[in-house]
Structure 1
Amino acid sequence: MKAPRGLDKPLFQKLVAGEWIDRHQNLLIIGPTGVCKSWIACALGHKACRDNRSVLCQRLPRLFEALALARGDGRWLGCR
């Protein structure tokens, strides 16, 4: 039996198309434990790689650490 996760299938299909990547937009996946955030991120990342797009996946603490370091050494403006 599968747990109901409330996944918006039309939205997921739109994300899979990857136009948001071409527009240089970011994706932040949030939600409670067990709603397949990691699975969704990996699926989108793998599809993007198959489409010859660059992918960077980071957990939030690591992202905050990288942004803090960038701010500290002057690379902040390049982190968009």
Structure 2
Amino acid sequence: MFGAINKLSNMKSVSILLIIFLCSMFIMRSAISTLKGITGGIGILDLHFSYTVQEIYETLFLQGVAGRSYYLTTFL
């Protein structure tokens, strides 16, 4: 087990994973900005630490049909 981990944990592998991570964060930030543009500033529930059922319903209602559709096709 540790032999495989040590074999994969070289600078090239770590660099590739870092690049993939940074690209995915850029894409996520861009998608959230687009969603906020569609919904008039309403973000996604995934970025909240905690929320009540009422807050979930309110966010989904405020996102509207276009916002929920974009969220479903982009984030899921």
TM-score range, shorter chain: under 0.3
TM-score of the superposition, structure 1-length normalised? 0.26
TM-score of the superposition, structure 2-length normalised? 0.27
Larger radius of gyration: 2
Q: Which fold has the larger relative contact order, with Cα–Cα distance below 8 Å and residues 6 or more apart in sequence?
A: 2
Q: Which has the higher helix share?
A: 2
